[in-house]
Amino acid sequence: MHIEKIKTYMFHYIRDSKNNELSYLNSFNSEKFFSFVDKNKNNILSQKCIKNLLSSGDEINTKRKILLTFDDGLKDHFNEAYRILKSFNLSGIFFINTKNIIFGEMDTVHKMHFLYGKIGWKKLVEIIIGECRNKKIKIEDYYDEEIAAQSYPLDDREVAVIKYAINYKLQAKIRDELVNSIFYDYRGDFEEKDFYLSKNDINEMSSNGMIFGFHGHEHIPFSSLNKYQLHQSLLNQKIFFEDMDIKNYGVLSFPYGDISSYNHNNINVLTKFGLNLAFIADQHNVNNHSLKILKRIDCAAI
Ligand SMILES: [Zn+2]
């Protein structure tokens, strides 16, 4: 079967619906995940099929058509996804940010997930604009309406420009401080502890047929890194896999994964680094790249 016929789903949070305090994180329900896997157990790629996909060319030797992928190295992937996949003897690809695994501190991108999950984008945009005024950050200097609309076609204009400014334009230090101060105002009794997979989780998952891939050492768009920085980020990941004795399949998912999140210069570094397959987070056009790039469907569409 041709590789383009594989339907790849992308998951982030997978949580128990009874766990109400966390339900505001835009999560996929774990009971629903179980029934999805159960219903499609003969169609979801096993470890053997995924290895086949990662080592062969465009034609792959399987009738199975559904590939499951999990981004950001979240603890949920051990607690829910892995537990369920293992019980069906199935597998998935888990894309991790090694810095978050090593240090365990909650990343700005996940603080943003928490905030818009809890208070909604509309209110969050107002809060961000207010906080920028307090901190004397001229956020409007970082607006780029055209690219923002391309990157976030499903969002309102106000939301898209703020998202783009935060994810792509603001300097990391300013962005982290801005999001941090809003997060600590709204976090309530939310526990940051055990937000990510531990090294032990990764070891156990890997020993039981789960596959790990690159998602950047830090969760920042590759397009905002120069060649040296991207090389360094990938090298950190490679060393992490080597130290942990985790097989490196040369597969990655672009952090953020929208059309603005990577560029031609990045692709050159990736191919030189031995990466041979990359996933995006949506359905934008990926022709004209020397690297094999596959589209994904967000699990919200299930
Ligand atoms: Zn991600």
CA of 106 to the centre of ligand 1 (A): 13
Domain boundary among 186, 217, 246: 186
97 and 126 part of one domain: no
Residue 260 and residue 147 in contact, taking contact as beta carbons nearer than 8 Å: yes
CA of 145 to the centre of ligand 1 (A): 23
100 and 200 part of one domain: yes
- Domain interval for residue 160: 108-186
pLDDT at 20: 45
Read off the pLDDT of residues 264-301 as tens digits, 9 standing for 90 and up: 999 999 999 999 899 999 999 997 788 999 999 999 89
Read off the pLDDT of residues 6-40 as tens digits, 9 standing for 90 and up: 999 999 999 886 654 555 556 899 999 999 999 99
242 and 257 part of one domain: yes
CA of 95 to the centre of ligand 1 (A): 8
266 and 166 part of one domain: no
Q: What span, in angstroms and rounded, lies between the C-alpha atoms of 228 and 145?
A: 29
Question: How many distinct structural domains can be found in the chain?
Answer: 2
CA of 252 to the centre of ligand 1 (A): 11
Domain boundary among 167, 186, 205: 186
204 and 268 part of one domain: yes
CA of 296 to the centre of ligand 1 (A): 13
pLDDT for residue 232 is more than 50: yes
Q: Domain for residue 191, yes or no?
A: no
Q: What's the pLDDT band for 43 if we cut at 50, 70, 90?
A: very high
pLDDT at 27: 82
Measure CA 37 to chain center: 20
CA of 54 to the centre of ligand 1 (A): 20
pLDDT at 289: 82
CA of 100 to the centre of ligand 1 (A): 11
CA of 10 to the centre of ligand 1 (A): 10
CA of 75 to the centre of ligand 1 (A): 14
CA of 76 to the centre of ligand 1 (A): 14
pLDDT at 59: 87
205 and 286 part of one domain: yes
Domain boundary among 142, 161, 186: 186
119 and 43 part of one domain: no
Please spell the DSSP secondary structure of 141-167, one letter per residue. GG--HHHHHHH-TTS-HHHHHHHHIII
- Locate 134 and state its tokens: 């307090």
Q: What span, in angstroms and rounded, lies between the C-alpha atoms of 194 and 79?
A: 11
